[in-house]
Amino acid sequence: MDGSKQIPGMCITVLLLSVKCKEVSSREKCQESKSLRPTISVKKMDRVLCPGEHGEENGSVMEHKTIPWQIFPVLSDQQSQGVELVLAYAVPILDKKKTSRLVKEISAVYPLEGQQHLKRVRACTDKASPHPLEMLICLAKPGKEKAEGLHTLSELLPDKQVDCCGLGEPFLVHVPAHPPLTRMQFEEAKFHWPTAFHEDKYVTSALTGHLFSKEEKVKMQTYMKQAIWAAQQGAEKGMKAIGAVVVDPATEAVLAVGHDCRSSSNPLLHATMVCIDLVAQGQGRGTYNFKSHPACSVSSLGNRDPSASKAIRAGTVRKFESRDNGLPYICTGYELYITSEPCVMCAMALVHSRIQRVFYGTASPDGALGTKYKIHTRQDLNHRFEVFRGILEDQCCSLIKDS
């Protein structure tokens, strides 16, 4: 059974019940961990002082400052690519009065299945045209027209199902192959043939830079500054200058701060992997010991009772997947702020961890959230998340260059 197609309601029950059982074992397990697995240590962060935080947590201080960066959504290829065109047969409507009958009859023969975005009739683009309207008949078979020449009207509508009186001779026209997903695609699509557009307001506002308010951007900048701070701490110790923080947007709490810890003794401790493990440590588990990296820390704020949180957003999965003790399922509902675009390993780790959003400063050569792949948009994976690039891009970029 494909898990991704299951009913959410079913999952909730399963989760809640699982959680209850799990808690019983977690206490036992924790005790064992202490005696048998000394490598596990959870540092409770006493709010590591990060330069980005000073006086800037309060949005009003920043109010007068302008935000010196732009944020860009990293959309799927389908959303960001140009409009794909296909050839279709259209026909002039010589007698305008017969339009509604013709639409009815031709639609019965050629319902344009899967092409519901295409309008059947268009006003003639050429003002000098002798006929006022043109009508779409059907999609052309690619290549066939070139080989056999254009079909005539009687070939296209052979069985007298349509009274062709009032129609001119068919011609070929380029029409958009898919429904437009963004306003930009819509503008391009309708240039070729009138196209319906069900605008996703969320995507449009993301594309036009209106998704986040000034106050939100100030907060986002604070988080990214903490990530930059972590990157610098790591770099000072010879690590790759990449930093990251995990934030619970519902409580605005920073749950984990980490930097790249890759070394010959563990080449896989990329900043994302560090942060994912820190979140697990915040939930009493985890795998690695970051004692020698004091800038990698877990916040005790993450254990706060969520009922105290200001803004548990209605309708988010997190609400349903939260544990009895209020802690979310691994990274469900959380946001990652990271100075550089994650690699394939880290991007897929974020899929497995159910992150909600990733904000990265600057692109990476083998990045998997926009550069080489868009792992977060893949329909064939069972979790997708939003990705934005550009917060403090210049600073994030120079971190890498300087190291």
Q: Which residues bind another protein (CB under 8 A)?
A: 1-4, 6, 10-11, 13-15, 17-22, 24-25, 28-29, 32-33, 36-37, 264-268, 273, 276-277, 280, 283-287, 321, 329-331, 343-345, 348-349, 351-354, 364-366, 368, 372-373, 375, 378, 380-383
Q: Which does 130 bind (CB under 5 to 8 A by kind): Zn ion, another protein, none?
A: none
Least distance to another protein, CB of residue 379, Å? 11
- 343 is a site residue for Zn ion (CB under 5 A): yes
Cα 27 to chain centroid, rounded: 36
Per the listing, tokens 């036009």 go with 208
Least distance to another protein, CB of residue 258, Å? 13
Least distance to another protein, CB of residue 32, Å? 5
Closest to Zn ion by CB, 93 vs 271, is 271
Least distance to another protein, CB of residue 316, Å? 15
SS3 content of the chain, % helix, strand, coil (to 5): 40, 15, 45
Closest to Zn ion by CB, 250 vs 346, is 346
**CA proximity to 368, closest of 340, 396, 328, 393:** 340
- Spatial distance between the Cα atoms of 280 and 208, rounded to a whole number of angstroms: 36
Cα 336 to chain centroid, rounded: 13
Q: DSSP alpha helices (H): ranges in 126-237?
A: 144-148, 153-156, 183-192, 201-207, 214-236
Closest to another protein by CB, 25 vs 307, is 25
Q: 179: how many CB neighbours lie within 10 A of its CB?
A: 17
Q: Which does 3 bind (CB under 5 to 8 A by kind): Zn ion, another protein, none?
A: another protein
Near Zn ion in 239-298, by CB under 5 A? 270
Least distance to another protein, CB of residue 80, Å? 19
With CB under 5 A as the contact rule, the residue among 175, 224, 246, 346 that binds Zn ion is 346
Find out whether 250 and 361 touch, Cβ atoms under 8 Å.
Answer: no
55 backbone φψ class: left, alpha, beta (φ>0; ψ -120 to 50): left
Kindly state the number of chain residues that form the binding site for Zn ion, as judged by CB under 5 A. Answer: 4
- 355 is a site residue for Zn ion (CB under 5 A): no
Closest to another protein by CB, 17 vs 123, is 17
Identify residue 334 by its one-letter amino acid code: Y
**CA proximity to 184, closest of 106, 83, 100, 114:** 83
Q: Which parts of this chain interact with Zn ion (CB under 5 A)?
A: 270, 343, 345-346
